[in-house]
């Protein structure tokens, strides 16, 4: 039986190893995503975020970093909206019509050409995220995907897709938060005088 110290060390090592692998496998896509986001922010566009479960929490977390400020609360606000936060809409729409279009419906109402959707799915196969991606593309929006090693169905549908090199959900989610913080901090640095 494994002891607690060994378990903790193993978990931290596994997380470190995935992040180390991201230097090779995610660098180009992170740079591409940064360029897309900075261009959108400079043009006064809106960044939308979506995901399910832990990815919904990540969407809210990262959207907040852009709106409020990651390191600098005095810089200009960035128009950033998590499509996971309007519980009245989410519950009504899911109850009345189904959950598959819960994000795409909001994009239909809010999304404009030049806006960006950040679509988060560890599997890359979440139906409501895939539907949101298609709606965003139909509206002339760029799409940045956050997913895992396989990429799932979403990998070929995104403008750029950050694929964390793991099939372990928690390691993927840790890579998503790291990627999101890198992107938010880069945007913030571009907003400073």
Residue 76 DSSP code: P
Q: How far apart are CA 63 and CA 182, in angstroms?
A: 13
Residue 72: pLDDT band with limits 50, 70, 90: confident
Query: Any idea how long the chain is?
Result: 193
| Residue 77's pLDDT band (cuts 50, 70, 90) | very high
pLDDT in tens, 156-188: 999 999 999 999 999 999 999 999 999 999 999
Q: Please provide the CATH number assigned to the domain covering 9-191.
A: 3.40.50.10490
Q: Residue ranges per domain, the chain?
A: 9-191
pLDDT digits (tens, 9 = 90+) for 128-161: 999 999 999 999 999 999 999 999 999 999 999 9
For residues 54 and 176, the answer to whether their CB atoms sit within 8 Å is: no
Query: Do 179 and 26 form a contact (C-beta atoms < 8 A)?
Result: yes
Q: What letter would DSSP give residue 159?
A: S
31 and 39 in contact (C-beta within 8 Å)?
no
Q: What are phi and psi of 74, to 5 degrees?
A: -95, -10
């Amino acid at each position: 039986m494994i002891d607690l110290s060994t378990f903790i060390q193993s978990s931290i090592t596994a997380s470190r190893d995935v992040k180390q692998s991201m230097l090779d496998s995610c660098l180009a896509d992170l740079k591409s995503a940064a360029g897309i986001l900075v261009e959108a922010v400079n043009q006064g566009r809106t960044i939308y975020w979506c995901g399910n479960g832990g990815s919904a929490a990540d969407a809210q977390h990262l959207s907040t970093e852009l709106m409020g400020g990651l390191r600098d609360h005095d810089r200009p606000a960035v128009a950033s909206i998590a499509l996971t936060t309007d519980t009245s809409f989410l519950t009504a729409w899911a109850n009345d019509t189904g959950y598959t279009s819960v994000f795409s419906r909001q994009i239909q109402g809010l999304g404009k050409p030049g806006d960006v959707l950040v679509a988060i799915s560890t599997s890359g196969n979440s139906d409501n995220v895939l539907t949101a991606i298609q709606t965003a593309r139909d509206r002339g929006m760029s799409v940045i995907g956050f997913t895992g090693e396989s990429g799932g169905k979403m990998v070929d549908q995104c403008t750029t897709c950050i694929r964390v090199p793991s099939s372990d959900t928690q390691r993927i989610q840790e890579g998503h938060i790291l990627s999101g913080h890198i992107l938010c901090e880069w945007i913030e640095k571009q907003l400073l005088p």
